[in-house]
Structure 1
Amino acid sequence: MTEAHPSGFTVVGNHLAQHRGLSCLAIGLAVHIQSLRDGSPVDIRSLTERFPEGRDRFAAASASWRGTAIWNGAGNGSPTAPGPP
Structure 2
Amino acid sequence: MALIQSTANPFVKFMPRATYRPKKHETDAKKVLYIDHNEVIKFIAAMKVQVQALGSSLETQEQHTAKLQELVDDLRRWT
TM-score (norm 1): 0.19
Higher strand share: 2
Compare relative contact order (CA 8 Å, sep 6+) and give the higher one, 1 or 2.
Answer: 1
Higher gyration radius (CA)? 2
More helix as a share of residues: 2
Q: TM (normalized to structure 2)?
A: 0.21
